[in-house]
Amino acid sequence: MRKWIVIALAFWGLLVLGGCYLPSPTCDPDEMVAPVLQSPAMWSLVDPPPPVLSWSNPGSCNPEKYRIRLTTGPFFTDDLGGEVSGATTSWTPSTPLQPATEYAWAVNPLVGSTAGPVAGFSYFFTGPMCYPGTFVAPVLLQPANGAVVNEYSPTLIWDYPDDCLPAGYAVHLSTDPSFSDMSLSGGTGNPSTRWGPGHNLIDCTRYYWRVAPITGTTLGPFSETFTFRVETTACPPEGTSTTGMIRGKVFHDVCNVPASGPLPDPMPVGCREDAPLGDGVWQWFDPGLANVVVRLGSGPCPAVDRGAVLTDASGNFYFFAEAGHYCVSVDRLDSGNEAIFTSGQWTAPSVSGEQVASWEVDVTAGGTVDNVHFGWDYSSWSGWEYGTISGVVWHDLCAFDPADPVPSVLPTGCVVTSAGVVHADGVRQEGEPGIPGVAVSLGRGPCPSAGLAEAVTDETGTYVMPPLPPGEYCVSVIVGEYGSNYDILMPGSWTLVPSGHEGGTFRAVTLASGENLTGQDFGWDYDHLPLSLPPYFKFDVSAFCRRGPDKAFDIMTALEKNQMVLIEGKTLDAAWFYVRLPAGRGLSALDPARVPTPASNDLFCWVAANTGTASGDLTLIPVLASPPTPTPVPDRAGPSFSRIAASPDPVYYPAGGQCGPVDLTVTAQVEDVSGIETVNLVYRYKNSQQTGAWHTRAMTIASGVYRVVIHVGEEAARELKAGDGAVEYYLVATDKAGNQSRSSPSSVSLLYCR
């Protein structure tokens, strides 16, 4: 025993003589204490950077590691921090710090995934300091000029536009624009560009503020005066309003397609047709980007003199502004923004590699400029994968004429319903053919909905929707009373009818990330068995149909990719086909016995053979002479509209309800011989109590169809208190010759979700 005691004493002596100490034990999660921040001291100046951030651990154990948060003023939305082991109590930033900038830092102890307490943030500044004789006027940021704030003690934020720091700032805040009452005013006492009033402000009251740099008793020039109004409740109006609103969203424009390699055909929903980039249109699956600095300026871009706001958690922002012309912009290198906009590029308002994206807007008194959106497509993204939805529209065979009596022995493939009706059995048997040329529609959310995408069945009756994000969708086939589906399918009825509808059928589907959802089939029983298909032309690309077999002839209409038309004639070299579009602009019936005689409202025009594929017995197509080549004339007519549609109808508000669809999709075909410059949707919300302001949304084109999605559930709730009403709308289009035309007004039902 004595021997072991001697050995232990000797070992302890070696530790003492060697200057070594046993390490502190690792903390349990509930043993962690807040670190004490030591250097840089609160409000100290670091010149030159970078500083060594140091702290002490007042506890008796060490965490596994420390997490350091370092963030940049004046908005403090980024994170330049890092991590060190729990035995280390200092850290140096790896990112170079900016001169003349305020920073905040804090330290979190961590054990596993558990974060320990934090003592709060400490603030420091990077130099150099300014000479008083060189002072310039600060630039006010937030609240933006004319803003409405919903808190009693808003933080006033500004920027000092020079590479040095004043010792402090004088802040004037008053209900009087002449600042005769200075009781609310104060100062920062340090170079911070943030300040808050000493006590709560008064609700429903307008305030004015300005800022000037100061060192000692030397006061520099004042900023421009900004105004804001505190409204935490339903405040009465301030008389006749001269202000309007600008609203928008900053979003990740998702197009999860590799930058290299062949492009998918068709491109996924949300992507451009010609590049692996987002389409510049906000879709429901495009996440908003929070804490983005958005700036407002008076006049043309690049003005930024009217303040700034941060986007909310959903990427939304808004400004209030007097009537006039403004620039709304996002600088991807603005303070805090550079951590958000990593590798990628702008897709809205334009596709470019530029640093700043900007919109110019005109604000009217009492009006709202909506959808001032900014889209950013990241170079890489590890989110969800695209999936597909596919199926077959097939002829469900039953050799029975509805005019005949019910036989005692049913033909193969036939069944009798409880109502005594004979039709096909709804089961696809071997040998039952697919039906080509049927348009299958896709909508977002619960059925019935449409307008998101469309696919046309091929020669086997198979349709494949474009690649899609995960979510709930509605797949439908609408027969209607005219159009291509009517011409192909009628007379007949659905046999595999998930929805129970006859004229139009649909099924609700849920698509998982990366899923290839097959088997979404629809069965159709013809009243009369179809025979063979007449010569027809299927478009491989969207193309124009002209008055003659040459590009010198006027354009009569635009036809979509996968659309099918009947061939009535050809040129001698078969380079052009003379085609017929029956009323409804689709392929006539597959049964030649039911192909209608050409009517006065059928459209005949010429298409280039290299835009698609001809099928059927082409030897029967006659050769036709070309009409005389026209003499070009100036275009003085505005664009023409066709196939304007809005779905779903009705649509519901507010967005949080569970009554039905809250997004409205408006589509149209717009044509002009000079080409189309712009197409805009103009709309408003209206019920018996209120009429909202008119809004304007730009429409985008894909596959020959102009399209826009309105988020009715959110917008209508901001403008209408409650009650059913309508969404009234019309289209305005301008051609490349400067001619403008307007469509007839229309509306869809707007229902309040109680």
What is the structure's pLDDT at 352? 60
Q: Is the peptide bond before 466 cis (omega within 30 degrees of 0)?
A: no
What is the structure's pLDDT at 412? 81
CB 541, CB 611: distance < 8 Å: yes
Of 17-31, 213-227, 315-329, the least confident: 17-31
What is the structure's pLDDT at 353? 65
- β partners of residue 626: none
Of 128-142, 189-203, 261-275, 434-448, the least confident: 261-275
What is the structure's pLDDT at 650? 85
Residue 4 reports pLDDT greater than 50: no
What is the structure's pLDDT at 589? 32
Which range has the top average pLDDT, 95-99, 117-121, 264-268, 283-287? Answer: 117-121
pLDDT band at 392 (very low <50, low <70, confident <90, very high): very high
DSSP calls for 711-742: -HHHHHHHH--S--EEEEEEEEEEETTS-EEE
452 closest CA partner among 282, 277, 269, 271? 269
Taking only the tens place, the pLDDT of each residue in 184-193 is: 999 999 999 9
Taking only the tens place, the pLDDT of each residue in 42-92 is: 999 998 778 999 999 999 999 999 999 999 999 998 889 999 999 999 999
Residue 350 reports pLDDT greater than 60: yes
- β partners of residue 62: 26
CB 357, CB 293: distance < 8 Å: no
Tell me the chain's radius of gyration from C-alpha atoms: 34
DSSP calls for 538-559: EESS-EEEESSSSTTSPEEEEE
Q: What percent of the chain has pLDDT over 90?
A: 44
Which helix (H) or strand (E) segment holds residue 705: the answer is strand 705-710
Count Cα neighbours of 401 within 13 Å in the Cβ-side half-sphere. Answer: 5
What is the structure's pLDDT at 685? 92
**Amino acid letter, residue 515:** E
CB 638, CB 673: distance < 8 Å: no
Q: What percent of the chain has pLDDT over 70?
A: 90
Report the DSSP pairing between strands 44-46 and 65-72: unpaired
What is the structure's pLDDT at 583? 46
Taking only the tens place, the pLDDT of each residue in 299-322 is: 999 899 999 999 998 899 999 888
According to DSSP, residue 26 is labeled: B
According to DSSP, residue 352 is labeled: B
DSSP calls for 394-463: EE------TTSPPPSSPPTTEEE-TTS-EEE-SS--TTPPB-TT-EEEEEESSSS---SEEEE--TTSEE
Taking only the tens place, the pLDDT of each residue in 604-659 is: 899 999 999 887 777 778 999 888 887 777 778 889 998 888 888 888 888 666 67
Q: What is the mean pLDDT of the chain?
A: 85
Of 29-38, 525-534, 686-695, the least confident: 525-534
Mean pLDDT of 146-157: 92
CB 395, CB 531: distance < 8 Å: no
Of 18-22, 404-408, 462-466, the least confident: 18-22
Which helix (H) or strand (E) segment holds residue 17: the answer is helix 2-17
Of 117-121, 349-353, 567-571, the least confident: 349-353
436 closest CA partner among 493, 467, 392, 389? 392
What is the structure's pLDDT at 102? 95
pLDDT band at 1 (very low <50, low <70, confident <90, very high): very low
Bigger pLDDT: 110 or 269? 110
Place of tokens 């001291």: 41
CB 605, CB 519: distance < 8 Å: no
Mean pLDDT of 258-273: 81
Mean pLDDT of 195-199: 93
Which range has the top average pLDDT, 184-198, 681-695, 736-750? Answer: 184-198
Mean pLDDT of 86-108: 93
Domains along the chain with CATH numbers = 29-126 (2.60.40.10), 132-230 (2.60.40.10), 243-378 (2.60.40.10), 388-526 (2.60.40.10), 536-620 (2.30.30.40), 640-752 (2.60.40.2550)
Q: Which residues of 597-618 are buried (b: 16+ CB within 10 A; e: fewer)?
A: eeeeebeebbbbbebbebbeee
State the virtual CA torsion across 411, 412, 416, 420 in degrees, nearest 10. -10
Of 207-211, 523-527, 592-596, 612-616, the least confident: 592-596
What is the structure's pLDDT at 3? 43
pTM (global) more than 0.95: no
Question: In whole angstroms, what separates CA 57 from the centre of its chain?
Answer: 46
Percent helix, strand, coil in the chain, to 5, is 5, 40, 55
Taking only the tens place, the pLDDT of each residue in 559-617 is: 877 777 878 899 999 999 998 775 444 333 333 333 334 444 457 899 999 999 887 77
